[in-house]
Chain A
Amino acid sequence: MAIKPVKVSQLNGYIKRILQSDPLLGNVSVIGEVSNLKHHSTGHVYFTMKDENSKINCFLASEYLRDLRYELADGIEIIASGYIYLYERGGTYSLNVRDIAVEGLGNLTAAFEKLKQKLSGEGLFDEKYKKPIPYFPNKIAVITSETGAAVRDIIKIIKSRNNIVDILVYPCLVQGPGAAADIAKSIQDVNRLFPETDTIIVGRGGGSMEELWAFNEEIVARSIFASKIPVISAVGHETDFTISDFVADKRAETPTAAAQMAAPDISALKAYIEGEKDSLVHVMERLIKYMELRVASHNIEALSVSLNHRLLYSAMNAEALFKDMGGALDGRLKDWANRLEMAKSGLDALNPKNIMNRGYAAILNGEGKMTGTSGGFQTGDNLTAVMKDGSIQCRVFDVRRNQDGKTREKDEL
């Protein structure tokens, strides 16, 4: 059996031909747990799949990664399909993966959490990106299966509340391998073909986690995030949470709830605006009544009566003031007259003419001065006696002075 020695590369080349021409190894599905997951900067992914006894290196090219329906994570069990490839230079072989499936609640939940964490980290769930759902839409687009229960419920609820808003049902797959791509494309299409749409409802009725999975795929999340039109996500029942719910502008617990959110109740709105109008009318009426009352209390008669009162009062006031003023002035005048009279009688008493009337004369010395004393006179002096009706020139014969200074008039002449 022994053949002559071959080179290493020849051996590896031979093994490669054997491996790669084997029909089973050219298309194989392998179950195992993911470990050592590494995302290379080129976009390719390297990881190991293992079970309790063994492991195999795996390679996932970036072009297949794009279409993957599940976010890979260490520790989850996957079913990888692909082919065995031998790397000649290293003498190693690997499973080149084309597609990956994830089964079982635990594994799906792990993949879900991984994607949720990733998108959350990128900010796709941030509140600041959430667009408000238009309050009064003219057009609602419903992206869902046209045969499902969800579309029937949504149309029924919208019609029962609102007979104004247009409804556009944009049919798409909601489960299975192609569903996510179809949903994503439908969201893009509605944005492109019907930009006048106010609100998009995307969703489906209840189902298992596998059935709802399309709404947990990255491609759907990204198209919801990119939508210019606000999106309400309505997937399954209220206990079901999907990635779509987190990235959508609004999560509805059910398709029915989405319809209620998207379309306002027209009869309630009518009642509301009636109420507002009634309140307008009511307030206006009250205001007018109040104004009327004020006008009535200010009519001309009332005004003239009040004016007359005020005139009368002013006149009385003026009169009293005038009286007061007159009294004060009279008093002042009398006072002045008294003072004048007193001054006059004072002056009269001092008038020398009055004394002369009574027979007295004023004696002036030679210089014409009145000295009032005999002291300045000598015998032979000339003097003048001034009387009431004239004066006489006199000469002194004798001077007799009183011991006590008193003069006897008789002796003086």
Chain B
Amino acid sequence: MAKQEKKMSFEEALAGLERSAEVLKKDGTTLEEAMQCFDKGVEYYKYCNEILSDAKQKIEFYDKKEA
């Protein structure tokens, strides 16, 4: 599970978060379903937040002569 999450893209995680919020809002969800959904949603949120907080930007000018 943890390995799979590493591979998950931001878009997938964001979609997961949105889906969780949507399902949770639905009527007729059992408490157990809701709890599962909530936990998943929070996991997705943390994953998204981790990505968004990783300011790893590199700006590079490719040198054609070097190549």
Contact = CB atoms under 8 A, between A and B. Distances in A.
A169 B62 contact: yes
A167 B57 contact: yes
A36 interface: no
Interface stretch (A102-110, A266-274, A313-321): A266-274
Interface size for chain B: under 10, 10 to 19, 20 to 34, or 35 or more residues? 20 to 34
Nearest to A287: B34
Given A280-B24, A291-B31, A163 B55 contact: yes
Nearest to A270: B52
A136 B9 contact: yes
Contacts of B21: 276, 279-280, 283
Residue of A136, A165, A193, A280 with most partner-chain B CB within 10 A? A280
A223 B17 CA distance: 38
B52 A276 contact: no
B57 A169 contact: no
B57 A164 contact: yes
B41 to A, nearest CB: 4
28 contacts: A134-B11, A135-B10, A136-B9, A155-B59, A159-B59, A163-B55, A164-B56, A166-B56, A166-B58, A166-B60, A167-B57, A167-B58, A167-B60, A168-B60, A169-B59, A169-B62, A266-B52, A269-B52, A273-B14, A273-B45, A279-B25, A280-B24, A280-B42, A280-B45, A283-B24, A284-B24, A284-B38, A287-B34
Interface of A: 134-136, 146, 155, 159, 162-171, 193, 266, 269-270, 273, 276-277, 279-280, 283-284, 287, 291
